[in-house]
Amino acid sequence: MSRRTDLTGTKNVDYDKVAKVYDQVRTSDPKMMHQILREVPLGRNSIILDIGCGTANNTLLVSRTTHARVVGIDLSSGMLHEAKKKASEIHLAYASANHLPFGNVTFDLVFMTEVLHHLADVPPMINETFRVLRASGEFCIATQSHEQIDHRMTTRFFPVTAKIDKGRYPDIEVAKKHLRAAGFTNVRSKPFTFARIPLGDEYLETVEKKGYSMLHKISEADYQEGLKELRAAYAAGDRLEYAPGYTFIWGSKST
């Protein structure tokens, strides 16, 4: 049997397993959330839904930086278990993005960060989101374009992850078509590149803990090869700098 990565069947990640290390390697992303929240007028009566909230890092950040009521759903009981330990004030529910357990026209803002590429079928989630949004509500998907995947540091050391992730991450224009088909208007995408940052020891530690889901998708041989090169780069004192890039896909529900 080949020791190389098999590129088929790469959608599923066992988040109940990942939940045990997720918060050791991921935190909330204030810069990303700022990009989202600055676009939507929110007040005390606003209600926000975080789809695929995971351990509620961003859910909690939104709850603490706005006056809105914030709700999160996720399809991993392990991730929700971690979320509930630190976010007792937030309503969290075990649910699929394709079957949101909420009435029609409930939310002013629905967002999802780093979830789109996990969905086997995107249109049912988009139709559900359209249903639960209030008139004039906004939907924001934070994801990465294929070009942004090419520029990741992880792609440099584990090139096969880029091949896998281009299969997992929907093309931005295709995702926008799905939004329009569901009835969203003013569908737009905004690429955003954060300032370049030098990668410290935490990047190596995250890779060593397989804190990035695509590292669970490659063969042990490909993982070990990349890890060896990454450790060598750290040992040689190479300056590893990375400018994280995201794409925000927006859609409005017009009246």
Ligand X SMILES: C[S@@+](CC[C@H](N)C(=O)[O-])C[C@H]1O[C@@H](n2cnc3c(N)ncnc32)[C@H](O)[C@@H]1O
Residues contributing to the site for ligand X (CB under 6 A): 15, 26, 52-54, 57-58, 74-76, 79, 96-97, 113-115, 118-119, 213
Smallest distance from the beta carbon of 90 to ligand X, in angstroms?
A: 13
Largest alpha-carbon pair distance within the chain? 59
Residue 121 backbone phi and psi in degrees, to 5: -140, 115
Nearest Cα neighbor of 193 from 124, 157, 137, 145 is 145
CB of 238 to ligand X, least distance (A): 28
Least CB distance to ligand X at residue 125 (A): 7
| Two tokens, residue 209 | 């803990």
What's the number of CA atoms in the CB half-sphere (13 Å) around residue 208?
A: 10
Nearer to ligand X, 89 or 238 (CB): 89
> From the CB of 55, what's the least distance to ligand X, in Å?
6
Around Cβ 197, how many Cβ atoms within 10 Å? 12
Provide the token pair at 17. 């397993």
Select 16 or 229, whichever has its Cβ closest to ligand X. Answer: 16
**In whole angstroms, what is the distance from residue 41 CA to residue 72 CA?**
20
Cβ proximity to ligand X: between 47 and 51 the closer is 51
Closer by beta carbon to ligand X, 59 or else 155: 59
Show the tokens assigned to 213.
Answer: 């889901």
As given in the structure block, the two tokens for residue 144 are 């990465």
Which residue is closest to ligand X by CB? 54
CB of 233 to ligand X, least distance (A): 25
Q: Where are the alpha helices (DSSP H) in 8-121?
A: 15-25, 30-37, 57-65, 77-86
Shortest Cβ 235–ligand X spacing (Å): 30
Of 60, 174, 90, nearest to 126 by C-alpha is: 174
Least distance to ligand X, CB of residue 225, Å: 24
141, β-bridge pairs = 112, 249
Residue 237: strand, helix, or coil? coil
